[in-house]
């Protein structure tokens, strides 16, 4: 059976997992470590360092080292490392490539496919950049899934009954909270909220400033001003912060952290957990507000949540548990390792795609509303900036939705469709993610003729928009301009070669060659069926969800098709299953659009 890696590409640490004997395991490096610090750098001789080695040199050579690159994924920025500049995708690819090699060494075979996790709140650009990074690392990214959803996938329900989980994921750079329902083996995300720029890194900054302010008050010198000292202190406060999760107070001691009048100054400071908690409380309050919003979106109360699951290193902070307990009247569960469960869940998802039955099936949702800009009433005023949603936030994926719009003038020649992502009524406050121009409209058409806009959002969160003139059938479609398409083929090849050289590949072709070997070693016929297995499961989950609101006639037909589909897949009648799946898809599609 083909192995699909599960990768948690974290802001601070990354983890790779794969399925062995039907269970997800985390792959360790030669020294036995389960995590890989998400830090990349070059040593003095220009040798690439990824992980702990890079983290170690961050102190001495911050100009040759980069951390938390995940925060820049999807941005157009370049990261300077020594003499060279890299895109965030390229830096992430170095981390992914290292994890891929770690897993290959453990298994003794070439691996070329992965499921990679992203925060639920990552937008389309950030997801595309992640996919791009995987591709640069020689990995086919078979699915991108949300981190909290992945965490829920490692959770094995103890009973047949419907369970509702609240997954609170606070990592180094991002925060997500999701309400997840597990029912008869199907995992469904009911709602999701978060902040892509909130996490342990912010706590480190706050603590650093607290320490440095006190030091400056005492000595009149600010150690933050020297990059090397700042970097050393940042590492020291992070370690202190972690100790404060277990201890009521701790000491930060750093020698020769600054100089005054030519004499070296040492830092020696005791930090009380309560003082630290005061520093971070407002940020944690923000996360609790998100928890409330997620519950509200899922139309649930705290009492209706069965379990609270903590994910991400920063969720080890005692104040997190305290605030959640106060708010939800639940003791959070600690049975799943918060550092490892996301990668393990991604491996579970990979196994599901490969057709291995390891656990519940995933139904994912879109975290943002997607829609178009149009003319209409915006807060009582006639405006051309009205945001008209097409796919609402929290819609299960894959989703297909259409809306009808109207031309504004007689003989209008073209329809300009601007696509936005966000929740604001004024489109210009949302993120503009693409546009499409449908030219050559019927010249005799009056104002008010219909333009059909259809959005198809796939399981990876990639959006295809089709626009058609209803009357003539004139149609145009676009798969959104994104990081991949902007990253032109030439620069992608160049980046691949650069990466291959850094990893000492014998020649630049070897990345591609590794991919080819793995691809031909899989059984193509079996491959189709394996993909089918997860499609069927998703279809069944969708159909079941629609049962409640369907008319009794439709519901009867759907139940019948569900039973037939289960029987035919169980007995291996693939042709029949295919036929029934098509019928059920049509019915689901019709009911969803109704």
Give the nearer residue to ligand AMP in terms of CB position, either 201 or 538. Answer: 201
Give the nearer residue to ligand AMP in terms of CB position, either 201 or 254. Answer: 201
Q: Which residues have a Cβ under 8 Å from the Cβ of 553 and sit 6 or more positions away?
A: none
What is the Cα–Cα distance from 8 to 147, expressed in whole angstroms?
A: 8
What is the Cα–Cα distance from 156 to 577, expressed in whole angstroms?
A: 28
What is the Cα–Cα distance from 186 to 544, expressed in whole angstroms?
A: 10
Give the nearer residue to ligand AMP in terms of CB position, either 238 or 469. Answer: 238
Query: Nearest approach, Cβ of 213 to ligand AMP (angstroms)?
Result: 21
Query: Nearest approach, Cβ of 548 to ligand AMP (angstroms)?
Result: 36
- The distance from CA 556 to its chain's CA centroid, rounded to whole angstroms, is 37
- Is residue 8 annotated as part of the catalytic site, yes or no? yes
Query: Could you check whether the bond before residue 398 is cis, i.e. omega within 30 degrees of 0?
Result: yes
- Is residue 337 annotated as part of the catalytic site, yes or no? no
Q: Which of 169, 195, 339, 364 is catalytic?
A: 169
What is the Cα–Cα distance from 76 to 73, expressed in whole angstroms?
A: 8
Query: Nearest approach, Cβ of 421 to ligand AMP (angstroms)?
Result: 25
What is the Cα–Cα distance from 121 to 73, expressed in whole angstroms?
A: 13
What is the Cα–Cα distance from 178 to 290, expressed in whole angstroms?
A: 9
- Is residue 217 annotated as part of the catalytic site, yes or no? no
Q: Tell me the residue nearest to ligand AMP as measured from the CB.
A: 200
Q: Which residues have a Cβ under 8 Å from the Cβ of 548 and sit 6 or more positions away?
A: none
Query: Nearest approach, Cβ of 143 to ligand AMP (angstroms)?
Result: 20
Give the nearer residue to ligand AMP in terms of CB position, either 112 or 250. Answer: 250
Q: Which of 2, 29, 147, 538 is catalytic?
A: 147
Q: Which of 2, 29, 67, 70 is catalytic?
A: 70
Query: Nearest approach, Cβ of 329 to ligand AMP (angstroms)?
Result: 24
Cβ atoms of 114 and 308 within 8 Å: the answer is no
What is the Cα–Cα distance from 496 to 97, expressed in whole angstroms?
A: 11
Strands (E) across 440-507 are located at 450-457, 463-469, 475-479
Give the nearer residue to ligand AMP in terms of CB position, either 241 or 307. Answer: 241
Where do runs of H (alpha helix) occur along 178-313? 200-219, 227-243, 273-297
Query: Nearest approach, Cβ of 116 to ligand AMP (angstroms)?
Result: 14
- Is residue 299 annotated as part of the catalytic site, yes or no? no
Give the nearer residue to ligand AMP in terms of CB position, either 312 or 360. Answer: 312
Cβ atoms of 483 and 491 within 8 Å: the answer is no
Interface residues with ligand AMP (CB under 6 A)?
10-13, 171-172, 199-201, 238, 241-242, 245, 312-314, 316-317, 339
Active-site residues: which are they?
8, 70, 147, 169
């Amino acid at each position: 059976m083909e192995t699909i890696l599960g990768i948690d590409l974290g802001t601070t640490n990354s983890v790779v997992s794969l399925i062995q004997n039907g269970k997800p395991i985390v792959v360790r490096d030669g020294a036995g470590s389960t995590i890989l610090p998400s830090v990349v750098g070059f040593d003095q001789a220009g040798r690439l360092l990824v992980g702990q080695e890079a983290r170690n040199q961050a102190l001495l050579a911050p100009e040759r080292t980069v951390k938390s690159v995940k925060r820049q994924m999807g941005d157009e920025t370049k990261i300077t490392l020594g003499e060279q500049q890299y895109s965030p995708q390229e830096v992430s690819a170095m981390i992914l490539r290292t994890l891929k090699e770690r897993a290959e060494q453990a298994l003794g075979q070439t691996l070329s496919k992965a499921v990679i996790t992203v925060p639920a709140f990552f937008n389309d650009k950030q997801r595309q950049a992640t996919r791009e990074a995987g591709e640069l690392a020689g990995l086919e990214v078979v699915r991108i899934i949300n981190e909290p959803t992945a965490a829920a996938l490692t959770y094995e329900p103890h009973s047949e009954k419907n369970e509702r989980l609240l997954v609170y994921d606070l990592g180094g750079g991002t925060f997500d909270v999701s309400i997840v329902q597990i029912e008869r083996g199907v995992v469904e995300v009911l709602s999701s909220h978060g902040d892509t720029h909130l996490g342990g890194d912010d706590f480190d900054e706050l603590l650093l400033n607290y320490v440095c302010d006190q030091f400056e008050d005492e000595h009149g010198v600010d150690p933050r001003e020297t990059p090397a000292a700042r970097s050393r202190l940042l590492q020291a406060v992070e370690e202190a912060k972690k100790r404060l999760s277990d201890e009521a107070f701790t000491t930060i001691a750093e020698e020769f952290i600054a100089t005054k009048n030519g004499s070296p100054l040492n830092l020696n400071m005791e930090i009380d957990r309560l003082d630290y908690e005061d520093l971070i409380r407002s940020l944690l309050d923000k996360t609790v507000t998100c928890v409330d919003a997620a519950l509200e979106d899922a139309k649930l109360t705290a009492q209706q949540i069965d379990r609270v699951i903590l994910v991400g290193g920063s969720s080890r902070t005692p104040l997190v548990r305290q605030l959640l307990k106060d708010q939800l009247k639940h003791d959070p569960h600690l049975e799943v390792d918060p550092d490892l469960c996301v990668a393990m869940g991604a491996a579970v998802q990979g196994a599901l795609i490969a057709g291995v039955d390891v656990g519940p099936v995933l139904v994912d949702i879109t975290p943002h509303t997607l829609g178009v800009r149009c003319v209409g009433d915006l807060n009582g005023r006639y405006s051309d900036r009205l945001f008209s949603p097409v796919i609402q936030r929290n819609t299960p994926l894959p989703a297909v939705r259409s809306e009808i719009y109207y031309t504004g003038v007689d003989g209008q020649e073209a329809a300009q469709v601007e696509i936005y992502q966000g929740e604001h009524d004024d489109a210009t406050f949302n993120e503009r993610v693409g546009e499409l121009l449908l030219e050559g409209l019927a010249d005799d058409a009056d104002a008010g003729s219909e333009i059909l806009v259809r959005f198809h959002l796939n399981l990876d969160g990639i959006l295809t928009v089709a626009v058609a003139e209803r009357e003539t059938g004139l149609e145009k479609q676009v798969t959104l301009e994104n990081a991949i398409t902007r990253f032109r083929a030439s620069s992608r090849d160049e980046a691949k070669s650069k990466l291959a050289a850094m990893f000492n590949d014998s020649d630049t072709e070897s990345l591609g060659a590794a991919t080819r070997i793995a691809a031909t070693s899989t059984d193509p016929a079996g491959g189709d069926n394996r993909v089918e297995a997860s499609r069927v499961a998703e279809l069944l989950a969708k159909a079941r969800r629609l049962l409640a609101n369907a008319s009794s006639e439709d519901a009867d037909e759907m139940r019948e098709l569900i039973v037939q589909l289960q029987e035919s897949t169980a007995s291996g009648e693939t042709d029949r299953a295919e036929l029934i799946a098509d019928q059920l898809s049509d019915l689901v599609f019709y009911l969803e659009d109704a």
